[in-house]
Amino acid sequence: MRKSSWVFSSVALAAVCSAALLVGTSAGAASDDQALLDKAKSLFKPLPESPALENTALTPERVALGKALFYETRVSSDGRQGCVSCHNPAYYGADSLPLSLGIFGKVLPRNAHTVFNTSLLMAQHYGGNRATVEEQAVKALTSPVAYGNTSFEQVEKKLATLGYQPWFDKAFPGEAKALSVENWGKAIGAFERTLLTPAPFDRYLKGDTKALSAQAKQGLKTFIETGCAGCHNGVTVGGQSYQKFGITQDYWLVTGSTEKEAFKGYDKGRFQDTKNEADAFMFKVPQLRNVAMTPPYFHDGTAATLPQAVRIMAQLQLGKQLSDTQVADIVSFLESLTGEVPADFAKAPSLPVASH
């Protein structure tokens, strides 16, 4: 309840502020540009220059091990799933499928997020049931659909057999039990923390008003005025709160979700994890960085294109119908959130080979 009233007040706030932006039009284009930039700076933040490392020792050895483990498929129960299977450089750290395919072709109940910039989100997954990227990586190992291992001991044995002992020893020097599932999480987390993707929008937020096209700036303005920034804000343009999906109508009536047939019920978001009725249909607001590169959209992958997702959002979350021009402008703004695939991520590593 507290969260949803925050949405409405911040949506209202966005509307008030945008009215102030409009008043400025007579003062000329330059001051308009400055007003929009000031407003944007109050709602969003550029990516940090380097990953936040307060609790994580991010040594080159740890990052290299994390990258190897990210690409490692032999730890999964069918030998074919690694993080990279569903978080692939070719698809901007996601997998391009409406719903991911796990071990033995099992269908996962949700659409895969990108792994870029995710260390900056307030929690991981739509339900927020994993606090950090480290915890996320550990829990994936025993997920019955992603890796399908039955115990952590089994995972540690597999890693040792594959020849990973020296890699862990190097990445976690001096530790009596360097090769552990906990350190699997720390290493993969360290690698993920390097996957930041600065975009034209970051240059804009740092004061370069030419970094965005006129259409992208108009889109940014519409994004703020319509109320999108009430939920999609902060450094990752989302990922910082839980909100109900389907405020004006049940989402499946508008998205055509087939979850009911596939999984015998609609996905109730955070409720699936907390079993608290107040969390029913509350989903973590996804980040919108690189969103133009990661179709299809929504937790069930029901929106095939970005214009479609934008239209549905306006209708379901704000009770508004956007014109074609407004949609195109917002999409142009969202495209300014596309950074480059980190070079180190795109190049596959050499993995250890078993020596006995």
Binding residues for ligand HEC, per CB under 6 A?
7, 81, 83, 85-87, 100, 102, 108, 110, 112-113, 115, 118, 121, 124-127, 133, 136-137, 140, 146, 188, 226-228, 230-232, 243, 245, 247, 283, 285-286, 288, 291, 294, 297-299, 309-310, 313-314, 317-318, 330
Task: Give the nearest distance from C-beta 229 to ligand HEC in angstroms.
Answer: 8
Task: Give the nearest distance from C-beta 265 to ligand HEC in angstroms.
Answer: 15
Do 273 and 100 meet the contact criterion of CB atoms below 8 Å apart? no
User: Which bin fits 178, alpha (ψ -120 to 50), beta or left (φ > 0)?
Assistant: alpha
Evaluated on CA atoms 297, 301, 303, 304, the torsion sign reads positive
Task: Give the nearest distance from C-beta 202 to ligand HEC in angstroms.
Answer: 19
Q: 45: closest CA among 196, 174, 175, 214?
A: 196
Name which of 104 and 175 has its Cβ closer to ligand HEC. Answer: 104
Name which of 35 and 285 has its Cβ closer to ligand HEC. Answer: 285
Name which of 172 and 242 has its Cβ closer to ligand HEC. Answer: 242
Amino acid identity at 74: R
Do 17 and 150 meet the contact criterion of CB atoms below 8 Å apart? no
Q: 342: closest CA among 81, 137, 82, 117?
A: 117
Q: Give, in order, the Cα–Cα distances in Å from 356 to each of 160, 161, 187, 262.
A: 10, 8, 25, 44
Q: How far apart are CA 86 and CA 156, in angstroms?
A: 22
Task: Give the nearest distance from C-beta 164 to ligand HEC in angstroms.
Answer: 14
Name which of 131 and 354 has its Cβ closer to ligand HEC. Answer: 131
Q: Give, in order, the Cα–Cα distances in Å from 61 to each of 64, 188, 311, 337.
A: 5, 11, 45, 30
Task: Give the nearest distance from C-beta 292 to ligand HEC in angstroms.
Answer: 9
Name which of 78 and 208 has its Cβ closer to ligand HEC. Answer: 78
Q: Give, in order, the Cα–Cα distances in Å from 112 to each of 102, 125, 210.
A: 11, 9, 33
Name which of 111 and 205 has its Cβ closer to ligand HEC. Answer: 111
Q: Give, in order, the Cα–Cα distances in Å from 72 to each of 82, 103, 188, 347.
A: 5, 14, 11, 14
Task: Give the nearest distance from C-beta 33 to ligand HEC in angstroms.
Answer: 22
Name which of 102 and 234 has its Cβ closer to ligand HEC. Answer: 102
Name which of 125 and 221 has its Cβ closer to ligand HEC. Answer: 125
Name which of 34 and 280 has its Cβ closer to ligand HEC. Answer: 280
Q: 36: closest CA among 271, 205, 232, 268?
A: 205
Task: Give the nearest distance from C-beta 187 to ligand HEC in angstroms.
Answer: 10
Task: Give the nearest distance from C-beta 31 to ligand HEC in angstroms.
Answer: 26
Q: How far apart are CA 227 and CA 314, in angstroms?
A: 9
Task: Give the nearest distance from C-beta 298 to ligand HEC in angstroms.
Answer: 3
Q: Which residues have C-beta within 8 Å of that of residue 299, sequence separation ≥ 6?
A: 110, 111, 126, 245, 267, 269, 283
